[in-house]
Structure 1
Amino acid sequence: MSGYITITQADIELAAANGITAAQLRGRVYNNGWSPAEAATRPVRPKHDRRKWVELAAQHGIKANTLYHRLSEGWEPERAATQPLVRPEEMQVLARAAAQANRRRESP
């Protein structure tokens, strides 16, 4: 046995009945390594229209890439689009303050 997975016409028909195109089915099986049954039945994730969040982020000086990264990290969209960036020099100040606070807690 070669280990090659074949997508059957029945798989394609099952996928179509579940709103999955043949191209999506092939990508799921051959690129993602899913079984044909899983690829044909697992629902397609809805696409999110993030244009309003990109626009809001731009109004707050936040680039789209930063917004997308924050969203991928699990941030809520409003927070990701509005929370100001922490600049490197600000981060140094925050880090120093945290280090001083830790030293005070550790000293007898």
Structure 2
Amino acid sequence: MVVIIACVIKSFADSETQLLWVTGKSRRNPTPNLRRAALRKLFMIDSAGTLADLQIPPGNRLETLKGNRKGQHSIRINDQFRICFVWQEGNAYAVEITDYH
């Protein structure tokens, strides 16, 4: 049996999001609940086979962004924070946790 593990997240837009992904720790995301929720959403992105996979669960509220974030997509962590990323050829690039409202 051969198991192939493909990582969908290819790059991060900021070091804080990468730190959370690699270590589970973050200086910017203050509460344990926010860190856990953000990690869960990052795992969803990393496990997605297609962009459409991120429409589930509906609470993700997958969006195509406009304006200065044109070309990016986002999913919600909570009412305040989002994970923004660029989706190209089945991979996520420039992944970042942000409060862009």
> Do they fold alike, i.e. is TM over 0.5?
no
Larger Rg: 1
Superposition TM-score, scaled by structure 2 size: 0.24
Structure with the larger helix share: 1
Superposition TM-score, scaled by structure 1 size: 0.23
